[in-house]
Amino acid sequence: MLHGYGADGNDLFGLAEALAPHLPDTVFRSPNAPEPCAVNPVGRQWFPISWIDGSPEAAMRDGVRRAAATLHAYLDEAMAEEGVGLEQTVLLGFSQGTMMSLLVGLRRAETLGGIVGFSGRLVEDDEAGPITARPPVLLVHGDQDEVIPVEAIHEARAGLAAAEIPVSWHVSQGAGHGIAPDGLRLALDFIARTVGGAKNGA
């Protein structure tokens, strides 16, 4: 689970309590992003965001690449520690964590079990390398999102479809920049289908 800008790993770990009863034999991990957040020193960021913190766009691009390398290494280490393969692994991201999930998850040597992205967008970066994996993707966004407009989900699904990546999507009505109950239920169903870990009736 990859948190958003200015939060930390604890921010999403509460989702594990909701998902765990339906996903037996599942390990939940929620790492901190690698950098302190420029506008919230007690939080973390995967990379600077120029239109929020005033950093140069070049610094933002460099930060994206550093974070991608860090996340690739973290996934390698985490899977080795837990004894699971990439096909048994789902990346679940929120906001900036969704951007990282899509950027890295589509550029692994092997294919992930899936990617769930809440309230994020698809980051295009030619220097990140070509897409090498096409796991199933679920995108969820609130129609009242005041941070990343809902149009981002339509741009992302179009970009993924153009790259021949299987993508499903849902807009949560009346939801802002967060994870609504209907979106979480869809995420649970998606994870259960992709990695086969749900109990009957979950």
Q: Measuring CA to CA, which residue among 141, 194, 136 is closest to residue 168?
A: 136
**Strand 35-36 to strand 90-94: parallel, antiparallel, or no bridges (unpaired)?**
unpaired
- Tokens representing 138 are 């679920």
CA atoms of 81 and 179, how far apart (whole Å): 29
- Amino acid letter, 8: D
Helix (H) or strand (E) holding 170: strand 167-172
Which of the residues are catalytic?
95, 145, 177
- Whose structure tokens read 């239920």? 185
Token representation of residue 28:
């939940």
Amino acid type, 114:
G
